[in-house]
Amino acid sequence: MGLPSQPDLPAALHRYNETPQPDLCALSPRQMHALLYQPLGPASVVQLHADLPNDVLDQIPFLRLTEAFLRLLQRETPLRLTPLGALPRKYLRELYASGFILEEGLETGLFTLSREIDSLAITTLHQTTRLAGLARLVRGELLLTKKGAQLLDPAHRLALWALVLDTFTNRFLWASHDG
């Protein structure tokens, strides 16, 4: 048993790339590549439904937290950040108190929510919202963009979710969760 002859090599590689692999949860190498590098792209095994009802969207904690954050920005525009560019404690506590995403360390009292970096969800929310173009930073103040105001409309919830999910999967630096 050796390597296929030179003319058969492309066909053998194609067969391998299309064959489900047990180590990849029965995905083929081609499917795994699409899942890793274009998680929501047309070749990915993961696809968003184009017509999710509101009761399903209501079950997505990060979407609900994003909507609460955008409403906060709408109400408090401009929102003055700390000198290090983080959300002030007052707003951190308001967002966390909404209860959409609870974190074990905060819930058990292991640590308190005194800085933005104390909550992985809120840090991710702040970064993702800015990366998605829903908010922008101007001279130490966070402002809701026109796009953010438009997508805050309940009629555009699915578009908001698609944008937030796409931003989190394709543009957000996941290494920032490594601590």
Task: Find the DSSP H helices in the chain.
Answer: 9-18, 29-37, 54-57, 61-76, 89-97, 104-107, 120-131, 146-151, 157-170
Task: Label residue 40 by pLDDT band (50, 70, 90).
Answer: confident
pLDDT bucket at 3, cuts 50 / 70 / 90:
low
d(CA 41, CA 79): 35
pTM listed for this prediction? 0.81
**Token reading at 145:** 């963009």
What's the average model confidence in pLDDT over 51-78? 93
4 pLDDT tier (thresholds 50, 70, 90): low
DSSP letter (8 states) at residue 145: -
What are the DSSP calls for 68-118, one per residue?
HHHHHHHHHSSEEPPTTSPPPHHHHHHHHHT-SS--HHHHTTSS---SGGG
Supply the pLDDT for residue 179: 66
- Residue 12 has a pLDDT of 84
Average pLDDT in the chain: 89
- Maximum Cα–Cα distance for the chain, whole Å? 70
pLDDT at 39: 81
Two tokens, residue 53: 């009802």
The pLDDT of residue 175? 85
